[in-house]
Amino acid sequence: MSMEKSLSEHTKNILGLQLPTDPRWVNLAEIELEEILTDHAYCEQKAATTCISLIQKNSEKSFLVDELSPIVTEEWGHFRQVLAELKKRNLQLGRQRKDVYVNKLIDFQVKGGSPDERFLDQMLIMALIEARSCERFKRLSEGMEDAYMRKFYRKFMESEAGHYTMFINLAEHYIDKKIVRKRWKAWLEYEKELMNSSEVRGDRIH
């Protein structure tokens, strides 16, 4: 079995994603290490602050609060780890870039729907971002020439591997499973087309 076929099956079976990352992305990311580490740092920061926001907006959902509270700490810890890596290499944390990938995902969210519909899409967009991030970390952990950086990203992949399923489980805790699965399938198809039409850039995680 080829590596590409194996990765593709892993992507679909484990993460549910319909399209693997273009292999060229890893080479570009390694060339632009300062940029990819900067973008990675901001991704971890945004993950932490988004979880805080979700807790604030859904404070009545005790199960959600309990599940997301430790994720805030974990994601902020990841942010600090990436900052430390930048500092160790005498690289600078650059400015936060516009996240085209996430903004296009937001375009697919239900607009003006019921509270449950909006909540469902909030959970599923987080699940999708986490799934794609994990897949990207897997790519870096297997494809970078620098052995240290392969190990560095392997740790992130392992640490964040369960995050996307947690968001799906949160959705299913509050909303009928059949509704969640139907909408998740639509999200996966949308993300496939988004990835297929997106420029391959090595200066960002997504």
pLDDT for the residue 205: 92
**What is the residue extent of each domain of the chain?**
24-197
Q: What is the mean pLDDT of residues 38-65?
A: 97
- 9 vs 177 pLDDT, higher one: 177
> What average pLDDT does the structure give for the chain?
91
Q: Does the structure show a pLDDT above 90 at 101? A: yes
Helix (H, G, I), strand (E, B) or coil at 110: coil
The CA R_g of the chain, rounded to the nearest whole Å, is 17
Q: Based on the number of CB atoms within 10 Å of its own CB, is 30 exposed (0-12), middle (13-18) or buried (19 or more)? A: middle
Q: What is the 3-state secondary structure (H, E, C) of the chain?
A: CCHHHHHHHHHHHHHCCCCCCCCHHHHHHHHCHHHHHHHHHHHHHHHHHHHHHHHHHCCCCHHHHHHHHHHHHHHHHHHHHHHHHHHHCCCCCCCCCCCHHHHHHHHCCCCCCCHHHHHHHHHHHHHHHHHHHHHHHHHHHHHCCCHHHHHHHHHHHHHHCCHHHHHHHHHHHHCCHHHHHHHHHHHHHHHHHHHHHCCCCCCCCC
Q: Mention every residue, 6+ apart, whose C-beta is less than 8 A from residue 44.
A: 75, 76, 78, 79, 82
Q: Does the structure show a pLDDT above 90 at 70? A: yes
Lowest-pLDDT range of 10-14, 17-21, 50-54, 66-70: 10-14
- Give percent above pLDDT 70 in the chain: 93
pLDDT for the residue 81: 97
Phi first, then psi: give them for residue 161, nearest 5 degrees. -60, -30
CATH code: domain 24-197 is 1.20.1260.10
pLDDT for the residue 15: 62
Q: Does the structure show a pLDDT above 50 at 53? A: yes
- 43 vs 15 pLDDT, higher one: 43
What confidence tier does 162 reach under pLDDT thresholds 50, 70, 90? confident
